[in-house]
A and B are shown apart, each in its own frame.
Chain A
């Protein structure tokens, strides 16, 4: 993918990130001080409660008005503000680079990186391809080096990515960008997204020709990942069975996400990024509008 194309995609991702972001504000975070409401008491401007003064409390938080009325020290308690953790895993298998889906992948990566960066969350990015993966520096991502890096991965396409090997952080929001077009038990991946206090979000770009290919006739299908040729005769019956199989495959992932309390949102690769994200992202809680 050419540099100017990547720059255009980055621009689009950044533009959309000014209007939409990951649902970081809708959950209680724990961790380093930051801009998001934490689970404990902190130094934010958000008033939370009162309690009696004990030695060692910061005298700046003594409620002097209450002391004037009661003659006892009481403390104003404020919400803790923490810095969210976001782990983004990008499936860079060959099927993700096909036509419009590749562009949408680029837009999504830039959208996530910029969006997370704008809220000051701690972000780590991994690229996975089959059983192989690598972690990208943020500069590398924003400098568009991630594409070249991802293409250097030589993981076997037929292997299901094992997220448990990535070292995802505890309590982090784990975002997986993948078209899910591989065989295997989705339960393992879903559990990896939601375990150890993490919250998972599955962003699934999909193309119309996958959902409704409209095949009719003789085809030599080229596997997008293995590059092998497969002759097929597709009639109405075969097409119908394919569509049913596709729907079953996606329904299985959705069911596993429901079980593992992982949010799954599908993103159409056709059309603008914003419209595609809004179409399902806001409804399922995968995204929220930037206040």
Chain B
């Protein structure tokens, strides 16, 4: 078994031995005594010829205890290591799967393979765990074969946004333990990593150009798109761009010159007869931002039917005009706006916003707010109500606002789940419409109703974004169908599982989504690459794994497992030596007396 000192400087502790001997020689002085029985002592043959001083040490218990303590301390400080007959190491490789890694995709496999082979050479056996930087994803590889690992990594598709890898690094550390290696493979040479995590940067600075944002608006000329193209490089870049439709039409390529580190905005009208199209730049290393799908965006709305007249009609018009989520009802209405008597039942079959018909009593008391998401951050203290109607609160009603004991505003939920917002006063006998709080309350309620409705809409989302807000509330997944249409013409249906509202995300690359409800098209969605931070490849860099000579020795050897016990031994020896020295001093004192 081989043997090395992890800290050879610790052997300097041996200097404590001559120091200790010197101290004892200086400290202990022989007593002079006249004796008459020396011949008896001579018989014992204990007289040492010149070795008396060492005999003195020989019989000094504290000296030997302290000497042993010094030797143990030297042993601990020098960190002795014994050879490992079978050296094994575990290595966790955390791969940065952000889109910027596309810039180094070509050299990724070669660099990773070289680095891992160097790591593997440090031990007889190496077990590799490859994890994605998104800790929620399953392990990409586990095994000892680097070739297999690289083969698996060929199917790796880095298209995420920027992500903090710390959670994945923590999982990697827990997999390999404190003695294993954790390597974070990325394309960035800088940035902080958790202690003990090594960086392997495989990137190289590239001059990338791509779309950084797009806006679709409706103007007098029709639907117009406006896209911003950014050059992340220092030099001027020349690109060509086209507009494509899903039926294969394509505009003539047009050139664009973008100065270093600057922007250019492209504008155009939607192609004739389509609701969606694709803007495409000529390809470069980073392809995700070279293409952007766009749709004629129209928000999801609650179709409003106004019942009554006067100020209610006025309010309805203002809501249609001012609220994004409110539209005019046609044949179908999702939301009714009207006035109710106490004797009237809240109408079923549709959600509604109702004001009371003339008040009967003057309310007294303070305004108290209930706990509801609809009221979050709102203030109604300025609300003035001359007369109120005393509505009976039923089980299931959610009172939003009280004045004394009179419910001023409440939400009533019918048996079919449709909700109505009821005001216990009339518009004429209050200043409600002048209050921002009431406007926001109405807006929020309309948005709720719109999200639960089945009005058609079109919108844009980012790649990888959660789609929870996409689906109408209260509608089961089996009534809906979600299809992904990639920009190469492919089509794939996404499964709406039990937890689809919570977990379903948009595709990781630009594409179109089509959402159908009961066989009818409900929504068209453009999925756009949205993390422009990942598009800047100019800051990518290359860093090799650090030299690990010390680690190599550590791996091929194991430390002294008993060093803690030796530490305790040093303490005990020191205490016992101290006790003996103390008793020696006590003895001298008594003798002196």
Contact = CB atoms under 8 A, between A and B. Distances in A.
B30 interface: yes
A232 B48 CA distance: 7
Contacts of A232: 41, 46-47, 52
A215 B39 CA distance: 16
Nearest to B29: A218
Contacts of A213: 35, 37
Contacts of A216: 587
A249 B36 CA distance: 13
A229 B43 CA distance: 16
B39 A183 contact: yes
Given A238-B44, A242-B40, A98 B34 contact: yes
A182 B43 CA distance: 12
Interface string A251-276: 00000000000000000000000000
A224 B44 contact: no
B587 to A, nearest CB: 8
Contact of A221 (B38, B48, B56): B38
Contact of A233 (B35, B37, B55): B55
Nearest to A222: B34
A219 interface: yes
A230 B55 CA distance: 14
Given A218-B56, A238-B46, A231 B30 contact: yes
Contact of A218 (B31, B40, B47): B31
A112 B29 CA distance: 44
Nearest to B55: A233
A176 to B, nearest CB: 17
The main secondary structure of chain B at its interface with chain A is mixed
A118 interface: no
A289 interface: no
Nearest to A210: B37
Given A181-B37, A223-B38, A230-B38, A245 B52 contact: no
Interface in B51-84: 52, 55-56, 58-59
Q: Which of A182, A215, A221 has its CB near the most chain B CB atoms (within 10 A)?
A: A221
A246 B31 contact: no
A210 B48 contact: no
A235 B56 CA distance: 9
B373 to A, nearest CB: 89
Nearest to A228: B38
B28 interface: yes
Interface residues of A, number: 33
Contacts of A95: 36
B58 A245 contact: no
B31 A224 contact: no
A287 to B, nearest CB: 25
Contacts of A223: 34-35, 38
A156 to B, nearest CB: 14
A216 B55 CA distance: 13
Nearest to A233: B55
A217 interface: yes
Contact of A181 (B36, B46, B59): B36
B33 interface: yes
B32 interface: yes
Contacts of A229: 32
A102 to B, nearest CB: 11
Interface string A234-246: 0100100110011
Contacts of B44: 238, 241-242, 245
B187 to A, nearest CB: 75
B21 to A, nearest CB: 15
A49 interface: no
B12 to A, nearest CB: 31
A246 B35 contact: no
A179 interface: yes
Contacts of A235: 59
Contacts of B31: 217-220
A222 B35 contact: yes
Contact of B36 (A179, A230, A238, A245): A179
Contacts of A207: 36
A183 B24 CA distance: 36
A47 to B, nearest CB: 52
Nearest to A237: B59
A210 B52 CA distance: 23
A222 B38 CA distance: 8
Contacts of A98: 34, 36
Interface in B179-220: none
Nearest to A181: B36
Contacts of B55: 233
Interface in B287-343: none
A225 B38 CA distance: 10
Contacts of B28: 217-218
A220 B30 contact: yes
A106 B38 CA distance: 24
Nearest to B32: A220
A80 to B, nearest CB: 45
A200 B576 CA distance: 57
A252 to B, nearest CB: 12
Nearest to B588: A217
Interface string B501-516: 0000000000000000
Contacts of A215: 33
A221 B52 contact: no
A245 B33 contact: no
A224 to B, nearest CB: 5
A204 to B, nearest CB: 12
A181 B35 CA distance: 11
Interface in A100-148: 101
A223 B37 CA distance: 8
Nearest to B584: A217
B33 A221 contact: yes
A58 B47 CA distance: 73
Nearest to A235: B59
A249 B48 contact: no
Given A232-B41, A238-B44, A224 B58 contact: no
Contact of A210 (B29, B36, B43): B36
A101 B36 CA distance: 11
A245 B44 CA distance: 8
A246 B43 CA distance: 10
Given A232-B47, A233-B59, A241-B44, A219 B36 contact: no
A215 B38 CA distance: 13
Contact of A231 (B39, B48, B587): B48
A210 B39 CA distance: 12
B377 to A, nearest CB: 88
17 contacts: A95-B36, A182-B39, A207-B36, A210-B37, A213-B37, A218-B31, A219-B33, A220-B30, A220-B31, A222-B35, A224-B34, A224-B35, A232-B46, A233-B48, A233-B59, A241-B44, A245-B43
In the A-B complex, the 5 residue pairs with the smallest Cβ-Cβ separation, listed nearest first, are: A218-B30, A233-B55, A95-B36, A235-B59, A231-B52
Given A231-B30, A233-B48, 10 more contacts: A95-B36, A181-B36, A183-B39, A220-B33, A224-B34, A224-B36, A224-B38, A230-B38, A232-B46, A233-B59
